[in-house]
């Protein structure tokens, strides 16, 4: 067994400083969350301490499409200054060969003295091997810094690798009387302008938005990002439409070129309608039927195979209910608004009390904030 190289100089360890740097690396990684294809959205910061003052010499985050990786970007920025420095990485550096070599090999080659990671990569091509390669080369490794925050940031990557499906986040806006919209007629805005903008920004961090055909038929939504400067960040639109009822006159079809449109149907759907949807530019997938319409486990498996990691489920009530009952919800954003819809409304979660989420031991409240006149609460599935 080859002898381990000794680190050039023993790096000083300050756990509080490590946490601050990892928090900054997590913020960098978030820049391309939802846009890194099959790769995780990682952040990396390289810090040198010559004398008493630490200096950031390299910063990187996974590029759109997944390459270059964050470490490569940060090392390129640091150049020679990486020698003897500490690299903060939000996920274990990859160990598998790729174009230009693995990130663990690049960190060794650059001569960093220490690597601080937030969590091991569950991808079997790396899992533990990235850290092992660093240690073998004499680099000091600290793992587990802000691990819970990193697990949330990489939830899409983790779900895809460990469950064979994307991470699923449900967003619902609920009126004061527990409704999410009107059953028929005009589309009804439940929440205010600030929540609308917040949801538009949230969309940019997902690679898919998913809704049921019921929502499409009532709201005729566009499901795109229209915030100035972010128009190019619209996720793929996923429509659950067992019977291929999506109207060819819908805005989704009219704007099929803006972002991919994926329509899921069952084999029982009218073949003429399926052909018409495909000819209009939609990508149509056949999956078996399941409770409520389609087998949602199959839908999510297909999305994972297509390389999607993060689903933003925007309703409606039936879809929310199916996801909840199928145990497929990982995260929930509830926006409670002061408006009253009245008796002709659609009850949230198909009659299932939303407070069930708040009471459920399966979910943990991790954030709450006022958004204009609305109140946002964010829940994540307890491990």
> Least CB distance from residue 214 to ligand NAP, whole Å?
2
- Give the whole-angstrom CA distance, residue 382 versus residue 31: 26
User: Which 192-231 residues touch ligand NAP, going by CB under 6 A?
Assistant: 211-215, 218-219
> Least CB distance from residue 248 to ligand NAP, whole Å?
16
172 closest CA partner among 358, 359, 364:
358
CB-nearer residue toward ligand NAP: 88 or 264: 264
Do residues 93 and 107 touch, judged by C-beta distance below 8 A? yes
Is 71 one of the catalytic residues? yes
Buried b (16+ CB within 10 A) or exposed e, 58-85: bbbbbbeebebbbbbbbbebbeebbebb
- Give the whole-angstrom CA distance, residue 32 versus residue 231: 15
The answer to whether 316 contacts ligand NAP (rule: CB under 6 A) is yes
Only segment of 116-124, 175-183, 362-370, 373-381 that touches ligand NAP (CB under 6 A): 175-183
> Least CB distance from residue 111 to ligand NAP, whole Å?
52
> Least CB distance from residue 302 to ligand NAP, whole Å?
13
User: Which 180-199 residues touch ligand NAP, going by CB under 6 A?
Assistant: 180-182, 187, 190
Residues 241, 298, 330, 331: which binds ligand NAP (CB under 6 A)?
A: 241
86 closest CA partner among 133, 55, 118, 47:
47
- Annotated catalytic residue within 71, 92, 298, 314: 71
CB-nearer residue toward ligand NAP: 107 or 311: 311
Size of the site for ligand NAP (CB under 6 A): 32
- Give the whole-angstrom CA distance, residue 57 versus residue 34: 26
Strand partners, 285: 264
The answer to whether 173 contacts ligand NAP (rule: CB under 6 A) is yes
- The CA-to-CA distance between both ends of the chain, in Å, stands at 39
The answer to whether 319 contacts ligand NAP (rule: CB under 6 A) is yes
CB-nearer residue toward ligand NAP: 130 or 212: 212
Give the per-residue contact string, 287-306, with ligand NAP (x = CB under 6 A; - = no). ---x-xxx-x----------
Which residues bind to ligand NAP, rule: CB under 6 A?
Answer: 172-173, 180-182, 187, 190, 211-215, 218-219, 240-243, 245, 290, 292-294, 296, 314-319, 322, 346
């Amino acid at each position: 067994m080859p002898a381990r190289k000794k680190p050039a100089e023993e790096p000083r360890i300050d756990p509080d400083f490590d946490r601050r740097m990892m928090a900054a690396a997590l913020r960098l990684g978030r820049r391309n969350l939802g846009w890194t294809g099959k790769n995780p959205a990682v952040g990396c910061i390289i810090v040198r301490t010559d004398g008493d003052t630490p200096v950031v010499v390299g910063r990187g985050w996974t590029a759109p499409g997944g390459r270059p990786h964050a470490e490569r970007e940060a090392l390129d920025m640091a150049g020679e200054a990486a020698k003897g420095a500490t690299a903060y990485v939000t996920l274990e550096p990859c160990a598998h060969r790729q174009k230009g070599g693995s990130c663990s090999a690049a960190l060794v080659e650059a001569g960093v003295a220490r690597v601080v990671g937030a969590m091991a990569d569950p991808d079997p091509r790396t899992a533990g091997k990235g850290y092992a390669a660093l240690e073998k080369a004499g680099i000091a490794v600290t793992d587990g810094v802000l691990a819970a925050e990193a697990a949330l940031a990489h939830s899409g990557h983790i779900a895809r690798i460990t469950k064979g499906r994307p991470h699923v986040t449900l967003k619902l806006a609920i009126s004061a009387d527990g409704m999410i919209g009107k059953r028929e007629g005009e589309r009804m805005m439940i929440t205010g302008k600030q929540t609308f903008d917040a949801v538009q920004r949230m969309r940019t961090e997902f690679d898919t938005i998913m809704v049921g055909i019921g929502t499409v038929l009532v709201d005729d939504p566009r499901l795109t990002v229209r915030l100035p400067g972010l128009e190019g960040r619209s996720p793929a639109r996923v429509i659950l439409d067992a019977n291929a009822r999506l109207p060819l006159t819908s805005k989704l079809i009219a704007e099929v070129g803006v972002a991919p449109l994926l329509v899921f149907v069952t084999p029982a759907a009218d073949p003429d309608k399926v052909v018409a949807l495909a000819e209009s530019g939609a990508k149509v997938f056949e999956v078996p039927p399941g409770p409520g319409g389609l087998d949602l486990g199959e839908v999510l498996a297909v999305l994972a195979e297509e390389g999607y990691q993060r689903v933003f489920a925007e309703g409606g009530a039936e879809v929310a209910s199916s996801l909840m009952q199928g145990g497929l919800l990982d995260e929930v954003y509830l926006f409670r608004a002061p408006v009253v819809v009245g008796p002709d409304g659609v009850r949230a979660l198909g009659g299932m009390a939303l407070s069930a989420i708040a009471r459920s031991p399966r979910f943990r409240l991790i954030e709450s904030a006022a958004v204009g006149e609305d109140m946002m609460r964010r829940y994540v599935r307890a491990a």
